[in-house]
Each structure stands twice: as C-alpha cells, then as structure tokens.
A and B are shown apart, each in its own frame.
Chain A
Amino acid sequence: MSFSPIRLGFAAALALGAPAIAAAQSSVTIVREVDSNNYDPQKSTARAASEVLFMMGDTLVGLDPDMKTVVPMLAESWDMSDDGLTYTFHLKDGVSFCDGKKMTAEDVVYTFDRWLDPATKSPVAWRAGEVESVTAPDPLTVVYQLKAPHSELLYQLTQSFATIIDKANVEALGPDFGVTGFNGTGPFCWKEWTPRNTMTLTKHEGYTWGPPIYDTPDAQVDEITWQIVPEENTRTVAVLTGQSEITQYVPYIAMSQLRAAPNVNVEQSDAAFWTYFIGFKVDKPTVADPVVREAINLAVNQAAIAEDLYFGEVQPAYSYVSEGALDWNHAIDDELPKYDPEKAIAILEADGWKLNSDGVREKDGVTLQPLAYVFAGSTWSKLAEAVQADLLKVGIDMQIQSFDATIAWGKLATQEFDMFGMSFPYVSSGDALNLYFRSTNIPSPNRMNWNDSETDTLLRAGLTATDDADRAEAYGEVLKKVHEAYVWLPLYHEPMTIASSTKLKPVVPHNLYGCGLYKGIGIAYAD
C-alpha cells in the first residue's frame, strides 16, 4: 500500500484548515493493539493492564524516565535499615481515592497482604521479596519488614503490580474487581470499560501527589480513551489524521512517514529495556549441545533482521539485557557472539554434526530439527521465519509452531519444545536474571530448565546485597555464565517510540514495563 497520497492529503487538510474530525480540547484518544483480560493489578501481567493501571492508581514510589532514579509518589520519603531488612515509608498526607475516601497506611497494608496472600494466586508475588510483614504503626507510616534483603525492592514497588488498592472496593466488587470498576488514587479515574473496545478514564479532581518527574502534579486533560484498534495501518492513519492524539503502537514501517508528517511528533527513547530473544531448553537432545547453541548464535544475522524486518528502527541484540541496563557486565562486551556463519559451520563439523542427504545435520542418530514454540501474530511469525532461514544455511532445520497468546502461555510451561520465542520488559539486569535463571522458576518462566546451583547462589547474593558494588559483581558473574553457555539467542532490543499530535506538548517516553505514557500526566495540549 502506497503512502505517498497521505502527505498530499495532509497538505490538503492543512490548507482547508483543521481536519473535519477535531476532538474537544480536553480529551485524548490513545490507540493500542490489544486489551487486557482484567484490570486487577495483582492478577494481570499484561502490559495492556499495566499501562492503564499506572494512570488509574499510584504506587508508593515512582521511577524517573532514566530507569534508575526512584522518586516519591504516595510516599514522600523512605528509609532503609543498615541490614537492608526494614523499609519505612512515610506517606503523604491528604491523598484520597477516586471515590473521595482518604487513603491511609491501612490501605497500603491491605494491598500488600492481598498481593502476598496465596489465595490471590498472584503470578507476580515474587517481585515483593521474602516478606516477613507489612504493618502500619500510624496512618502515615508503613513498615515493610523483609526476611532477607531485597535490593530490587524499590524498583519492584514502582511496578503497576504494587498499585495501592481500596479494600472496600475489592470486597464490594468481588470477582468483578478490575472488570466493572476500580477505585484507585491515580491521576485518572475509571469511567467505563467495554472489553476489547474502549477504556475510558476521567481526570481525578483534587489529585496533587503526582511524582516530581512531570511539570505539573496533576493530569492536564479531562478524559482519556484507550481505543483498541487491531489493524496496524489503521492505527497509523489514525494518528496522521488526528483521530488519535497519541500512541506507542505504530508499526516500524510507518516511522519514517510519521517523522515526515508535519502534524506528528515522534519521540524515541533507547533505554526501553524490552528485549526479544529465543531461549533453548538446555536438556533437549538437539540443543543440549552447547556447540549447537553457539552455532545458532553465530548463524543468525541480527543486524540484517533489524534492517530488513524493522527498517532499522530496532537495535540488534547480542546481549540478554540492554547494555545500558543497571548492572550490565561490560567486561563481556567483546565476548558476545556476532554473525559468523562460516565459523558456525566449522564448529558444527568439528563437533561431529554432519550434513545428511536432506541438507540437515545429524549426529548419533539425532537430526538437528529443533522445535520452536512462538506466539502467533505478525511479529513472531516474521521473526521466527527469518531465524529459520538463517539457520537452514548452516544445516539446522528449525521447526516453528505458533500459538495464540491465550494458549501460548500454557504451552510454554510444558516440556514439549526445544526452543521458544519470548520478549520481556525489565528495569535492570537483576530483574531479568532473577525472573529467568532461578532453578525454582522451572518450568516457567525458567523455560530453559537452567538448573545451576552456582547461578542460584549468585542470584541470591545479588538480590540480598545491600551494597551496589556487591550486587553488580554478583549479577555480572551470572551474566557472564549464561552468555558463555549460550542459553539464549538474543534478537533485538525494542526502543520506546511515541507518536503524538503536534497539538500536544511533546512527551518524554517512559520505559517502565514498556508503558510509554506512564502516569499520563505528561499528556497535555500545547497552549
């Protein structure tokens, strides 16, 4: 589909004055691709849930767009004991929920109790650390008592999973909590949700406790509509024609065109910390051989994938986390495998993997046909096919099976496959490593079956370190270990790109959990 008429159309539209479809000056429509299954902060791990929850609710602490600085939000200050076991949060006075009820330390305690309660079955409870108790000595103080130090705690508390909720609201709605309503303390309030269609939020009047990373403490628009538009071309032209004022869900193919459009701003941040990779089950006959995993790492041309599939808009990845992430081990920068198909063939030959009559390698009766499970959809189908083509050139015949996201998570928890495709957001190296490489997280999210006691010890050391240098060292060791074992095939790091109408002030893209608009406070009409 040619896009050249669009610009002409634009010139025409501008010549005629404003486009026929102009929104009221205080409402904003954000288009996105998928909806969440619910908006219960402790039960959904979908980005689609987090991006709305950040706007509807608040966490004790916030995160600066630099992804390193923790800033006050519901807590105006906090202190940590020397042993790293006790965190004391001092809450701001005068915070209230959307329904007008005053928020106190009791609500914070209730939130964490529910999060950690086994009955809640929260898939993200591990993020809270090994908690002894959370108590409220007075209405404005919360004491967070740990059994073991948890160096990532403050970062984890900035995530939407730690959004402070209202007990009365949870109990009144029961299973409909986060489905028919949600009472939070955020800059916006729940107005209406029609699943798979729209989520409407209205400004929270009287909200003054926004994090200091924005120019203003409160929301600058009266209403936000999150509109689901599954078709990516439609999302693109929606931004071009001003039917949607802002979005982070535009396809890479349209980036250059959006940058050229006179009425659209494109803001980008490379510290997005969202990485795509393919992991190997290290105990399966085909990919159990480290040489095979190394060969796969050498055979795939990440730079070509970034250029051909993503129009050069993404960063080819050779490391498992972005090299800009906290605690990345720069000592292994030069050891990361780069594209070298000749070397891949050479090491496979030397290892005894010989080509059979079909052009596929074999060794000891095992044919090199690893089965890869990926998510159905345009992203992974293109990506998996590109990897498949590169691997075939060195005699590895990767088989692809794709599943819709709703089924895929269940399938990925099995032992049926040899390789799997995945992408994930993280705030730091430790965040990623603890999620994927702990032996206790087998079979999922540790789908590689990476079972290594030394890794576990180092991860625990990093997690419980009370000193930044100690933590960096422990995590650096793990990074070195897993990179040397070729447990993954890193593919690319996705940047955060936000396209917005020039009617809005430019926003600073945020990267927390891949939610570019974070609290939504930065969304404001230019005067």
Chain B
Amino acid sequence: MIGQIANRLLLSIPVLFGVLLLGFMLLQLVPGDPAVVLAGPAAPPEVLDAIRKDMGLDQPVLVQFWHYLSRVAGGDMGRSLISNKTVLSELGGAIVPTVELMVGCLFWSIPLGIGMGTLAAVKRGSIIDRLVMALSVGGVSLPIFFICLLAIQFFGVYWPIFPFIGRGGPFWTYDGFMHLVLPAVSLGLIFIGPVARMTRSSVLEVLKLDHVRTARAKGLSERSVILRHGLRNALIPVVTLVGLQAGYLLGGAIVTETIFSWPGIGRLAVGAILSSDFPVAQGTILVLALSFIVINLIVDVLYALLDPRVQG
C-alpha cells in the first residue's frame, strides 16, 4: 500500500513537470506582454526595456523556463502583476473556498448518486428506474450555468431563502453555510447524473455474478446481499468515474464560482488569465493540476481498500 503510494508520487513528478512546461508555454503564446501590464499602457519604451531586463524577459525562452522552475522549486511563485500581492497569498486565500465548495458538492451528491443508482438497479424497469435515469440524463445534459441561474431564480429570488453572492465565512457559521448551499447544490447536480448511471449499470453487472447468487442461496436478506456483496464490488468503477469526473468538476467550478461570485481558484484563474496576470495564472494552473494528481491518488487508495486484489 505504502509502496504503491510512493510509486504514484514518483510518477506524478514528470506529470508536474509537464504541467509547469505547458503553463509556462501557454502564457508565452497569449498576446500581451507582462512588462506592459506591469508598467501600464502609457509607459515609454525605455521603461519597458528596463522592466523586461528586470524580469528576465530578454533572456532566451529556455533560460526563462529554467529560472521559473528553480523559483517554483524554492517555493517562490512570484508576485501578482495586478495587485502586487505574492502569488502564494493569492492562492492561499482562494484554495479554502474552493475546497469548501468541492467538499460541499461531493458530500451530498456522491451518496445520493450511488443511492439513486442502486435503487434504479434493484427496481430495474420500474417507474422509479425510469425516473432516476431521466433525472440523470437531465443532470448530464443541462449546462452548469443554466442550473446555476435556475437555482438563483428559484431559491434566491422566487423564494428568497439562500444568498447567492460571495462567501459568508467558514461553512460552520450560519452565514457561511447559507452562502454555500446554492453553489454546492448547483455543482452537485451535474455530478449526480453520471454517478447514478454508472452505479446502476455496475450494480446490475454485479448482481448477475456467482458470489451474489451464493449469498442469496445462503439465505441472506436481500438488503444485505445488495449492500454488502453487490454494492461493494459495484463501487469500484464508480470510484474511477468520480476521479475522472473531478476534472470536469473543476471546470464546472470555474463557471459556478463566477456566477455566484465565489472567491475560489476557478474565479481567480479566469480573472488572472483575463487580466494578463501571468504569475497568478501560472499558479492557478499549477494548483488545478496538483489537485488532479491528489484526487487520482485518493482514488487509487480507495481502489485498494475496495478491491483486495489490487492490494497484492
């Protein structure tokens, strides 16, 4: 188990290197010059040259990349060109709300999705099954911004129960919790669909298997057959799916954060890219990539817990 995790961590080093390279290169390609952003549009050419020299922009690209790598390795991500705050402090301020949103979204949507999928599999062909599948297809097909706007329309305006602007504080405070509800629910809605569908098909597969028949033959109750022998095995592909979907979720979080003015990484990334704030943009890309790696690591660990064969 430990060996496996170490192995995965080693494997993520080239991935990270690739991300750093990609983030660096992408920002080399976008129009706009960091020196101009820093100096303002009215700056004379000699001031721009001085700033370029200062930032090392006059060096060859590879040299710049090497400097960038060594700075990042030393934990220095630079400073925002726009607000002059260190990138680390900007990222630090944005990570907490994003993690809060992610957890707030997964916390209710995964159990619900698994529950709905299992129910649909057990009641196969019934009206409940049809309903769950219809909801899933709807959840997968509706664009996230539309779900967000509907959520605002109904639970913010029509019945003004929840606030929908910004973050009210940590989620354990009343204000913070109320602010978290709508974004977390909207983001979770796109997640339920795929989880429920995958669970359903996976449970159906497992219920046909020999060991389930054996369990039934032993006279176990239907409930325990489904939950202990069926679901545990059926969850393996679901866990994979959740890991893969997490990336999609990060993308959805960018939209959700924008609509709800949620001060997270997604919104920071969009804002930084739009305002040519290169250091912050690189930082957010790095954080998004890191979270992907971490999520996948968690998936692997869960895999091992669920499937004894993997633990070998």
> Chain A contacts of B156 at CB under 8 A?
237, 241
Please determine whether A21 and B258 come into contact, CB atoms closer than 8 angstroms: no
Q: Which residue of chain B is the closest to A179 with respect to CB atoms? A: B84
> Chain A contacts of B31 at CB under 8 A?
403, 407
Please determine whether B41 and A195 come into contact, CB atoms closer than 8 angstroms: no
Tell yes or no: B166 within 8 A of A by CB: yes
Question: Which stretch, A5-13, A54-62, A137-145, A279-287, touches the partner chain B?
Answer: A5-13
Please determine whether A234 and B157 come into contact, CB atoms closer than 8 angstroms: no
> Chain B contacts of A444 at CB under 8 A?
41-42
Provide a sorted-by-A list of 19 A–B residue pairs whose CB atoms are within 8 angstroms: A5-B158, A21-B163, A37-B275, A121-B39, A123-B40, A175-B84, A227-B165, A227-B166, A230-B258, A237-B157, A243-B163, A243-B165, A403-B31, A404-B276, A405-B275, A406-B276, A410-B32, A410-B33, A444-B42
Size bracket, chain B contacts: 35 or more
Name the 7 nearest CB pairs between A and B, nearest first.
A409-B41, A9-B158, A195-B83, A19-B160, A407-B32, A197-B263, A406-B276
Give the contacting residue for B36; candidates A9, A196, A410; CB below 8 A. A410
Please determine whether A196 and B268 come into contact, CB atoms closer than 8 angstroms: yes
Q: Nearest chain A CB to B211's CB is how many angstroms away?
A: 51
Interface flags, A169-213, vs B, CB<8A=1, else 0: 000000110011000000000000011111000000000000000
Q: Which residue of chain A is the closest to B36 with respect to CB atoms? A: A410
Interface residues of B in 25-70 (CB under 8 A from A): 31-33, 36-37, 39-43, 47
Q: Which residue of chain B is the closest to A403 with respect to CB atoms? A: B31
Tell yes or no: B213 within 8 A of A by CB: no
Known contacts being A1-B149, A123-B42, A230-B261, is A406 close to B37, with CB within 8 Å? yes
Interface residues of B in 238-261 (CB under 8 A from A): 258-261
Please determine whether A8 and B274 come into contact, CB atoms closer than 8 angstroms: no
Known contacts being A404-B275, A409-B41, is A234 close to B160, with CB within 8 Å? no
Which residue among B90, B261, B274 has the maximum number of chain A CB atoms within 10 Å of its CB? B261
Interface residues of B in 162-189 (CB under 8 A from A): 162-166, 178
> Chain A contacts of B224 at CB under 8 A?
none
* Chain B residues at the A interface, C-beta cutoff of 8 Å: 31-33, 36-37, 39-43, 47, 80, 82-85, 90, 93, 149, 152-153, 156-166, 178, 258-261, 263, 267-268, 271, 274-276
* Chain A residues at the B interface, C-beta cutoff of 8 Å: 1, 5-6, 8-9, 12-13, 19-21, 29, 31, 37-38, 43, 121, 123, 175-176, 179-180, 194-198, 227-231, 233-234, 237-238, 240-244, 403-407, 409-410, 412-413, 444
Please determine whether B165 and A244 come into contact, CB atoms closer than 8 angstroms: yes
Please determine whether A406 and B274 come into contact, CB atoms closer than 8 angstroms: yes
Please determine whether A31 and B93 come into contact, CB atoms closer than 8 angstroms: no
A121 vs B110: C-alpha distance when bound (angstroms): 55
Q: Which residue of chain A is the closest to B38 with respect to CB atoms? A: A37
Known contacts being A37-B82, A195-B90, A229-B261, is A406 close to B160, with CB within 8 Å? no
Give the contacting residue for B157; candidates A5, A38, A179, A198; CB below 8 A. A5
A9 vs B155: C-alpha distance when bound (angstroms): 10
> Chain B contacts of A228 at CB under 8 A?
261
> Chain A contacts of B47 at CB under 8 A?
121
